[in-house]
Structure 1
Amino acid sequence: MNPVNTKPYQLPPDAVWLITGCSSGIGRAVATLIAEQHPSHRLVATARDVSSLSYLPDNNPNILKLPLDVASPDSINSAFTAAISHFNHTLDIVVNNAGYSLSGDTESATEEETHREIETLFFGTARVATRSIEVMRQSPDKRGGIIFNISSLAGQVGLPGHAYYHAGKFAVEGWSESVAREVHPDWNINICIIEPSGVKTSFEGHSKAHMKPHPAYQSPDMPARKLEAYVQMGIKAGAAAGMLEPGEVAEAIYSVASKEEKVPLRLPLGPTAWKMIKAKLEAQLRELEEVKGVSAMGREL
């Protein structure tokens, strides 16, 4: 199996960052971090509505604000064309952040809701990452780069009531791992899957969609209703204080990009994500051992 992210990465002092979904949350936090704390770096901040980027200055030559809708191939191509033209065909760091959650009873999901979710979470991420690889491998000085695909704890652990959100994030994870093994090591293009647990963002607003409730799933003893009750109890008890701040995620992303070490393929963020992913993997190993005899199909393992 081809190794991934084989060489230590060195962040250029004038690195060009392209970030999707900068209107709020993680995208906004990363954009703010670069603009305010690393002025020698150059920033391409994108959002579906450019007016949502008013928190960034208009008169800074190192900051370019562009409209970008990851569900539109034409929008992506236009944004990339403008970005690489503005910054001399250079792109070093991409934070592939745009997306929204879709939750509810899966039997109630409409074709339109499910297709829109996967279109944004998976195909949008794949389009931006693919275009980024093309630019990075053709950069004038061949300096490579990092593509941070923002997944989630939901890309590793499936919970009731979020089937299509999990499907999109699981797809991002599998796609990212495959492509990370596909690029040539000499290109020095690194892919890092970011897996945060709960983040204090405006996700509950325009970035969180709900499917229509299904009457067959409304009993309090249904798994999704139990999970919802547990989450609400935690919020009322103040457990939400353990959620990550968007700025913490931004700092972690910058740390990975700048520490001059090999880039991890996966990076869980937050104690909850680390512990739940570890528990899930340990359970999978136990289950794998339990089916060993059947899996061997009479052959030696």
Structure 2
Amino acid sequence: MESNRTWMITGVSSGFGYEMTKQLLEKGDKVIGTVRDLVKVADLIEKYPDTFTCKILDVTDVPAIRKLVDSSFEQFGRIDVVVSNAGYGLFGAAEELSDAQVDHIIATNLTGSIQLIRSALPHLRSQGGGRIIQLSTYGGQVAFPGNSMYHVTKFGIEGFCESIAQEVAPFNIGVTLVEPGGARTEFRYGSAQVANLMPEYEGNPAHGFLTMLDASNGLAPGDPVRMATRIIESVDIEQAPLRMVLGSQALSITISTLKKRLADFETQTALAASTDFPAGE
């Protein structure tokens, strides 16, 4: 196992970002973390002054992303792992969402992640390799009502990462999509944003998320500490896993969904062939 790696992680003030950062610092690795509020990581800044570098970053600010990535690689010489973690959830029926909410979640979860990775690629390539970890969700494979724009960002970043994984493999750069299920993090019980709900959707499946966000109905099964540990361990896997599902419930639902999708495709053999030119033409 390689020791003393240097990591860049966005969104380290809570959730997986905070747990990963804490564990990495405890084992002696260096972390360049980004937050929007330094107060939330004051404990780590104080405890690890030599190995934790924390920067203010709004991932919707593309020039700021590029400046931070470039300066960090220049300062540290090598960054082994880039973790695109910053993001949030937005809940509500598509009709209930404002234009500003739609634009902001795309800018944060999708465009911000894309631009972070694009900014890091030249540096990873020139240093001879590295690892990119993109936090997604099993909602990057499975869609639920009331989550349309969140799914847009996660389905989108999964397609991006699956494509670039093939582009950068010759440069010894591995790409991993992490697909956690429900976890007891601030994402679900603190930072989740909810649309201006319309009475027309009361009792509609689109509002099923209200039950999920209410901790009194039972907490999510996923342990963010264990999940963070598995994410960190994945970097030691020589052939980078493209997708890694965390949580037994998430894996079960993902497999069931993909089986149904495949079965539907398999009924379309004749339909698909009917649109081809006849053989020989």
Q: Is the 8 A contact 2:59 2:108 kept in 1?
A: yes
Q: Is the 8 A contact 2:234 2:240 kept in 1?
A: yes
Query: Percent identity of the aligned residues?
Result: 29
The match for 1:153 among 138, 142, 146 is 138
Mapped to 2, the partners of 1:205 and 1:277 lie a distance apart of: 23
Q: Provide the residue aligned with 1:193 in structure 2.
A: 177
Q: Is the 8 A contact 2:91 2:209 kept in 1?
A: no
Q: Which consecutive residues of structure 2, in runs of 5 or more, have no partner in the other structure?
A: none
Mapped to 2, the partners of 1:280 and 1:269 lie a distance apart of: 16
What whole-Å deviation, never above 9, does each CA across 1:26-46 have from its counterpart, x for those lacking one? 00000000011x21x211111
Number of residue pairs aligned between Structure 1 and Structure 2: 277
Mapped to 2, the partners of 1:96 and 1:228 lie a distance apart of: 25
Confirm or deny that 1:101 pairs with 2:89. yes
Deviant stretches of 4+, over 4 Å: 298-301
- Between stretches 130-139 and 202-211, larger displacement belongs to 202-211
Letter in 1 for 2:120: S
TM-score for the superposition, normalised by structure 2: 0.91
What whole-Å deviation, never above 9, does each CA across 1:252-287 have from its counterpart, x for those lacking one? 1111112x4311101111001111110011001110
What whole-Å deviation, never above 9, does each CA across 1:153-186 have from its counterpart, x for those lacking one? 111100000100010110010011011111251x
SS of residue paired to 1:115: helix
Residues 21 and 229 of structure 1: CA distance in aligned 2, closer, same or farther (over 3 Å): closer
Residues 291 and 119 of structure 1: CA distance in aligned 2, closer, same or farther (over 3 Å): same
Mapped to 2, the partners of 1:246 and 1:137 lie a distance apart of: 31
Show the 5 A alignment for 1:282-301: 282-297=259-274
What whole-Å deviation, never above 9, does each CA across 1:34-78 have from its counterpart, x for those lacking one? 011x21x21111112223221213463222111121110122123
What whole-Å deviation, never above 9, does each CA across 1:89-143 have from its counterpart, x for those lacking one? x11111110001111121121111100011101001101111121211112xx2x
Q: Is the 8 A contact 2:45 2:53 kept in 1?
A: no
Q: Provide the residue aligned with 2:225 in structure 1.
A: 247
Q: Provide the residue aligned with 1:174 in structure 2.
A: 159
Mapped to 1, the partners of 2:68 and 2:36 lie a distance apart of: 11
| Aligned-pair Cα RMSD in Å | 2.1
Show the 5 A alignment for 1:127-276: 127-139=115-127, 142=128, 144-185=129-170, 187-204=171-188, 207-218=191-202, 220=203, 222-225=204-207, 227-228=208-209, 231=212, 236=216, 238=218, 240=219, 243-258=221-236, 260-276=237-253
TM-score for the superposition, normalised by structure 1: 0.86
Confirm or deny that 1:81 pairs with 2:70. yes
Letter in 1 for 2:9: I
Confirm or deny that 1:51 pairs with 2:39. yes
Residues 249 and 212 of structure 1: CA distance in aligned 2, closer, same or farther (over 3 Å): same
Mapped to 2, the partners of 1:298 and 1:112 lie a distance apart of: 41
Letter in 1 for 2:68: A
Structure with greater contact order relative to length (CA < 8 Å, sep ≥ 6):
1
Residues 253 and 272 of structure 1: CA distance in aligned 2, closer, same or farther (over 3 Å): same
Q: Is the 8 A contact 2:188 2:213 kept in 1?
A: no
Confirm or deny that 1:61 pairs with 2:50. yes
Letter in 1 for 2:223: E
Residues 290 and 155 of structure 1: CA distance in aligned 2, closer, same or farther (over 3 Å): same
Letter in 2 for 1:224: A
Letter in 2 for 1:256: S
